[in-house]
Structures are given as C-alpha cells and as structure tokens.
Amino acid sequence: MPMGRALRLCPQLIIVPPNFPLYRRASRAVMARLHAVTNRVQQLSIDEAFLDVTEHATPAATLAVELQAQIRDELKLPCSLGVASNKLVAKIATDVGKVARRTGQTPSALQVVPPGEEAAFLAPLPADGLWGVGPKTAERLAARGIHTIGDIAACPVEALVREFGKHGHDLAQHARGIDERPVTTERVARSISKETTFARDVRDRETLSQTVQEQAAQVMRKLQAEELTGTTVKLKLRWADFTTLTRQTSMGPTDDEALLTQAAGWLLDQVWERGRPVRLIGVGVSGLEARARQLSLLDTDAHEAGGREGQLKEAIATIRERFGEDAVYRGSDD
C-alpha cells in the first residue's frame, strides 16, 4: 500500500524508516553462517539463499535443524527452511512451511520433502503456486479444469506444449518436481551505471531526487533486459569544485526499480549538503549475476501482489520501449 494512502487511512500511523546498514549487517551475519556449512551458496536476496549440501557428511534435514537453531540462538532472528532434492521444490517447501505455521508469530518453519516424494508433495498445491504459472496462465489452466499442480502433472506433455509452447514443457517438468538448475555461486564481474552532468550546477534536492529516480529506472531497465540482478547500489556525486565522493550499500540480489530508487535516495540523504552546488550525480549497480527465477508465494495475497508487480514492470518496460525513457516513472501516492 502506498505510504500516502496508508497515512490517509490511519493518520496516527507510526512510520519506521528503513535501516539499510542494520539490514546489511544482519544479512552478512546470516550468510556467514550459511557459508560455514558449505561454500556452495547462491544468495537470492538480502534474506534468502539456496545451499547445495549434497557432498556434506551430515544429512540435509539435520543440517537444517542445526542451522535454524544457530541463527535463532546466536542472531536472535527467525528463519524458515525448505529441504528438498532441487531448488524448485525446496523453495516451495519453504513457503508451504510458512503457511502451515502461520499463527501470528514470527515465521520459523522447517519443511522437508524426502527424495522421490517431490511430485506427491506438489500435487495437492494450487496451480498458481508453481513457478511459471502467473495469473494469465492460471486462468487458462482453470478454463481447462486444471486447478492443482497435480492436475498439471497429469496432463500429457504434448498437450501442454500445444497450449503454452516451450513453456508447456517446463510446466510439465516442474509439476513433476523436476528441476535441474544447479546452485550457482559465480557472479558477473561488472556493473551498470548512469551518470548525469548538469549544464548548470544544481542546488535543490528535488531536482537531484528526480534525476536519481530517472537514473534508477534506466539502470534497472538495462538489468532486466539482460536478465541480471544486482547486489550493491552506488551513488556518485561531484560538487561544483570537482570534489567527488561515492557511497554504496548492499541489499541482496534484485532487479526491482522501487528498491533501487529507495536505496539510492537513502544514499543521497547521507551526502547531500543543503545549498552546496552539485555538478554531477550518478547511480550504479554492481555485484551482478544471472537472474534466478523466483517462485510465486503460496500465500494468496502475496501471490496476487507479486503478480500485479510483475505485470506493472512489464507494462512500464513496454511503454518506455515504445515512447522513450521519460514516458513513465514510478511515483508515490502523497
């Protein structure tokens, strides 16, 4: 919900500002404990990762119990884990565990899917809980009487391919609990950035904020076009006397424009000096890696929100491609 609308509905609302340094420290602490278990860790976001423990002497389920307890006892943080033979089922298992444990308390679920039971575990779950089944695909499936992942698995592969093209083959594989994607730890060693040198030095914060927002949109469009995510946001600022400084913050792999804009705006808050003229400002993202496809949450509200966000991103990208970068920007409901 936009902040402006939330304040109108609840004027006494207490707004807690984001604390990126705190989030970063907590994330690093959690990831350090994951890396202590195995060096085969693929971080998806600031608070989510895949671990490959196939070569570990301790059974995966036992490792999960120990890891959850360690994070809880040492860091005072709850965490949920899904254990399975592949990434797709492990991710869904995590979400199922969260839903099953929903009691109003902080989430701390543990769901284990034994090898060979992937298809049986997935079968009763709703079709839109499967990676690749968005609102439109779910609607087309429902029109054909397909409502669960088990229903998808029961469909002949040829029928799914006729209906959905190449995506139909992926649906058939995933519905049966088959996912051959490895846990990848390599990162792309490059960055994407956008800088603006002003024709006249700029003193007002509003112009700088708008420029940062435009730059964030362009950087994220480039990331999304190349199917990449970034882990570090950097702000570059050059004063009129040519003194240059940079600030950066880490936030976990993302290609979300709103999150990048928020992080860049937070960095601008750290360096901006009222009345001091700015000659150049730039936004960049580094720590790039191939985008890991995210699975839809099984929670209905979260899934619908994620679906709407995905559709919004696609719509914004289409508009900009047709009418130019300046055609549309995200805003706040103030």
Which listed residue (48, 118, 257, 289) is catalytic?
48
Q: Is residue 213 within 8 Å of residue 261, measured between CB atoms?
A: yes
Indicate if 48 belongs to the active site: yes
Task: Compute how many other C-beta atoms are within 10 angstroms of the C-beta atom of residue 65.
Answer: 15
Which position has the token pair 């150049």? 280
Task: Return the closest-CA partner of residue 251 out of 42, 37, 48, 32.
Answer: 48
Output phi, psi for 207, to 5 deg: -65, -40
Distance, in Å, from the CA atom of 68 to the CA atom of 79, rounded to the nearest integer, reads: 6
Q: Give the CA-trace dihedral at 201, 202, 208, 210, to 10 degrees.
A: -100
Distance, in Å, from the CA atom of 164 to the CA atom of 156, rounded to the nearest integer, reads: 12
Residues annotated as catalytic (active site), given as ranges: 48
